[in-house]
Amino acid sequence: MRKLLWVAAALALLAAVWFLARPGAVKVDFARVVRGPIRATVDEEGRTRVVERYLVSMPVAGRVRRIGLKEGASVGEGEVVAEIDPLELRGRVAETEARIDAIRHRREGVATKLPKEEERERARVLEAQATEALDVAQRELEAARAALVKAQKDLVRTKAALESGTGSSEDVDAAEAEEVRAREEVGASVVRVQIRELEIRACRLDTRILEARLKDFEWEEKDYAAQIASLDATLATLKDDLSRTRIASPAKGAVLQVLLESEQVVQAGTPLLEIGDLARLEVEADYLSEDAAHMREGMPAEIFGRALGDRVIAGRIRRIHPSAFMKISSLGVEQQRVTVVVAFGPGEVPLGDRFRVEVRVVLDERADVLLVPEGALFRVGGDWHAFAVEGGRARQRKVETGLRDGRRREVLAGLREGETVVLHPESIGDGTKVEPLPGAPPE
């Protein structure tokens, strides 16, 4: 009996030691695997902007008068929004017109200095007459030479007759006189031919002078014509500039910004004010390139934010810019982003230009799927896992997931509806005994 009592006491002591040394259950948060709808969305901060923004600039250089419009003022298409002082342009127009008139008068004076047709005809007639006179003089020269040859032969015959006794000295004297006269006639004919040749040269020189004068005057007239054409082009430009001194609004809308208010002299192209239709707004947001890669034009979006209060406005992606750019985040991280333009849905938009809003793009959505909280999942290698609670213990399972909305994930395999999972399982392992924290759903 005594031995039995000692054995019983030893067993009781061992049981007490085991009970005191055994590990207790870990208190954790529980969650249920449930069914419900899910939407995969991407949120980003954006800015409103008018769909069509018009920058009104100086069309020409000049002194712009003070702009009386203020930001928010309504303007109609074609309404004058700014004016340029036209005095300087009018003076330049008048000066250019006066120069054109002066050059036209000079051009008309060229016609009075041109060689007359009568002068040119007279030069041609004189040249023809001199040519005919030269022909006559050359024939007379040939006749005089022939007469000289005959006189020389007659002189030789008379001398021979005198020596033979059949002639007389008077015949010789007469023959010598005739030979001298014929020689002098030849000399006179040569001189007359030379004179006619000089006359022809003089007539031809007069003709060349008249032709040279004609060419000079033609060149002068062409020069004046070119000057007039150049000034006409300048005048047309000045008149066009003068017609644009009253600057009209290119579209109906509101004044978004007055960039130059006071009167001053500015160059052409200087921005004056911005105009846009506040009834036609869109939102521009810069998304991470990996998120933008899943977006398509026409995808639904939601626009909300402090500027809208509790209101959420529906919209759709209108355009995704084709090129990405680098941007430094608020934490100093370099990110690659893509600009996405979201159009508002039908209805009035209670916002203005460049308001800050939040944009949520709905990448995909499903109405009835199995859902698990994001906090119940953890990575093991490249796979997602979760701890399901079975009989008070955590059992590790591999989970296949689908869509996510930032709080929950779609379960494709690994968990069943109604099962309990451990939230934030940092301090437990497979087989760890667990119990819920106060307020957590029971197993």
In CATH terms, 92-243 corresponds, of 3.30.200, 1.20.120, 1.10.287, 3.30.390, to 1.10.287
CA–CA separation, 369 and 239 (whole Å): 73
**Position 59, amino acid:** P
For residue 267, what are its two tokens?
Answer: 């160059």
Q: Is 1 exposed, middle or buried (0-12, 13-18, 19+ CB in 10 A)?
A: exposed
Nearest alpha carbon to residue 186 among 136, 147, 130, 131: 147
CA–CA separation, 378 and 272 (whole Å): 58
pTM, entire model: 0.59
**Residue 47 contacts residue 357 (beta carbons within 8 Å):** yes
Q: 109: Cβ–Cβ under 8 A, 6 or more apart, which residues?
A: none
Nearest alpha carbon to residue 429 among 22, 28, 20: 28
User: Class of 44-51+279-364 per CATH?
Assistant: mainly beta
Domain 24-42+367-436 has CATH 3.60.15.10: no
For residue 117, what are its two tokens?
Answer: 């047709």
For residue 192, what are its two tokens?
Answer: 């007359």
Nearest alpha carbon to residue 253 among 82, 81, 73: 73
Nearest alpha carbon to residue 275 among 114, 431, 77, 22: 77
Q: 267: Cβ–Cβ under 8 A, 6 or more apart, which residues?
A: 58, 61
How far is residue 122 from each of residues 118, 195, 202, 204, 209, measured CA to CA in Å? 6, 20, 13, 12, 13
CA–CA separation, 176 and 372 (whole Å): 156
Domain 53-85+245-274 has CATH 2.40.50.100: yes
The residue with tokens 């199995």 is: 370
End-to-end CA distance of the chain: 47
**Position 37, amino acid:** P
Query: In the Cβ-directed half-sphere of 397, how many Cα atoms lie within 13 Å?
Result: 22
**Residue 190 contacts residue 72 (beta carbons within 8 Å):** no
Nearest alpha carbon to residue 373 among 36, 133, 78, 121: 36
Phi-psi region for residue 347, left (φ > 0), alpha (ψ -120 to 50) or beta?
left
Quick one: pLDDT at residue 320? Answer: 95
The one-digit pLDDT tens for each residue of the chain (443 residues) are 777 777 677 776 776 554 444 556 788 888 999 999 998 889 999 999 999 999 999 998 888 899 988 988 999 999 999 999 988 888 888 999 998 898 888 777 666 655 566 666 676 777 777 788 778 888 888 888 888 888 888 888 888 887 877 777 787 788 888 888 888 888 888 888 888 888 778 777 776 766 666 666 666 677 778 888 888 998 998 888 888 889 999 999 999 999 988 888 889 889 999 999 988 899 999 999 999 999 999 999 999 998 888 889 999 999 999 999 999 888 888 999 999 999 998 877 888 889 999 999 998 889 899 999 998 999 988 899 999 998 888 999 999 999 888 789 999 999 999 999 999 888 888 888 888 877 656 55
CA–CA separation, 433 and 197 (whole Å): 142
Backbone angles phi, psi at 206, to 5 degrees: -60, -40
> Can you give the residue ranges of every domain in the chain?
24-42+367-436, 44-51+279-364, 53-85+245-274, 92-243
